[in-house]
């Protein structure tokens, strides 16, 4: 009986040890951030940063090393709640929520891009706001032709011919933006870079977005808890005007003849007119485009 009890105790200790090892393995990326969050010197962070962060800190260490402790201190947080968003075996995001900064007391959520090195260790490769990340671009490659969606809208009676549509989903809505140019690979690379993906600067040099956002038309689709869709708003953004203008209206349900979301693509057919006078708006849209999910 004594031996049986001893074996049971040994098994229990083994199970606890295995569970502790699994938990430690799952938390290794958080441990890397904790090292970064305590670091005060370039030598401390050099082994645990890569990509954009490594370039930025190397530049500071070369140009003005006395400033580096101050810059590191500005990045430190007093408290946070962490979660990991998986992308693939070599890439993930560490999202920090309920953040309290040590230097400013700010509580904005943060996201760190984590890159796995050939040695198997994780490094912090970039820092950004969670809502700026288009997670879909990290998991799927797209071609410019997928966004070639001719449509039209009219602002104050002035017709705007649009050639591309981009649909971005966030929380309970999908925003479809109509652009007056055909998407190029450079435009897709621009969005990839904005989402934290490393892209050669030469690749985005020809992007339409580098020169600034033109006048665009927008349609906002509401997604309810039952995954039912409805057209919530239509409107436009005109950054070329002085001052810039932005207007949204709630259209009639009768203005929508098709609205579906299937296999990550939105199919929207709608036409109508709202407003009067200076703020009149008219649209004629028939698009079927992938939906990019924003936010981590």
Domain residue spans in the chain? 24-130, 136-293
Distance CA 165, CA 56 (A): 35
Tell me what pLDDT residue 239 has.
Answer: 79
Distance CA 213, CA 61 (A): 36
Among the four given CATH numbers 1.10.10.10, 1.10.3720.10, 3.10.450.710, 2.30.40.10, the one describing domain 24-130: 3.10.450.710
Intra-chain end-to-end CA distance of the chain, in Å:
54
Tell me what pLDDT residue 22 has.
Answer: 36
| Residue 103 pLDDT exceeds 50 | yes
How long, in residues, is the chain? 296
pTM of the model: 0.83
pLDDT one-digit tens code per residue, 223-262: 998 889 999 999 999 877 778 888 999 998 788 999 999 9
Q: Which residues contact 101 (CB under 8 A, 6 or more apart)?
A: 76, 77, 78, 107
Percent of the chain clearing pLDDT 90 (strictly above)? 72
pLDDT band at 144 (very low <50, low <70, confident <90, very high): very high
Assess contact for 231 and 219: CB atoms under 8 A. Answer: yes
CA nearest neighbour of 115 among 140, 89, 138: 89
């Amino acid at each position: 009986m004594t031996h049986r009890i001893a074996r049971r105790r040994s098994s229990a200790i083994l199970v606890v040890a295995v569970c502790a090892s699994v938990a430690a393995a799952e938390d290794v990326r958080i441990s890397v951030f904790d090292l970064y969050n305590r670091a005060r010197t370039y030598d401390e962070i050099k082994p645990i940063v890569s990509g954009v962060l490594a370039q930025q800190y190397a530049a500071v260490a070369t140009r003005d090393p006395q400033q580096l402790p101050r810059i590191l201190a500005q990045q430190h947080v007093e408290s946070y709640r962490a979660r990991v968003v998986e992308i693939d075996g070599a890439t993930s995001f560490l999202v920090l929520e309920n953040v309290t900064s040590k230097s400013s007391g700010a509580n904005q959520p943060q996201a760190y891009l984590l890159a796995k090195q050939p040695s198997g260790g994780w490094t912090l490769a970039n820092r950004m706001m969670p809502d700026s990340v288009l997670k879909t671009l990290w998991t799927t490659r797209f071609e410019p032709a997928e966004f070639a969606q001719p449509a039209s809208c009219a602002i104050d009676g002035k017709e705007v011919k649009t050639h591309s549509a981009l649909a971005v989903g966030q929380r309970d809505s999908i925003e479809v933006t109509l652009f007056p140019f055909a998407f190029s690979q450079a435009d897709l690379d621009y969005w990839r870079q904005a989402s934290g993906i490393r892209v050669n600067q030469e690749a985005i040099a020809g992007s339409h977005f580098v020169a600034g956002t033109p006048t665009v038309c927008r349609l906002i689709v509401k997604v309810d808890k039952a995954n039912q869709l409805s057209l919530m708003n239509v409107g436009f953004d005109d950054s070329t005007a002085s001052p810039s203008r932005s207007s949204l209206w709630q259209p009639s349900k009768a203005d929508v003849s098709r609205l579906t979301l299937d296999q990550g693509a939105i199919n929207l057919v709608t036409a109508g007119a709202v407003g009067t006078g200076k703020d009149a708006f008219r649209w004629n849209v028939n698009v079927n485009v992938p939906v990019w999910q924003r936010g981590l």
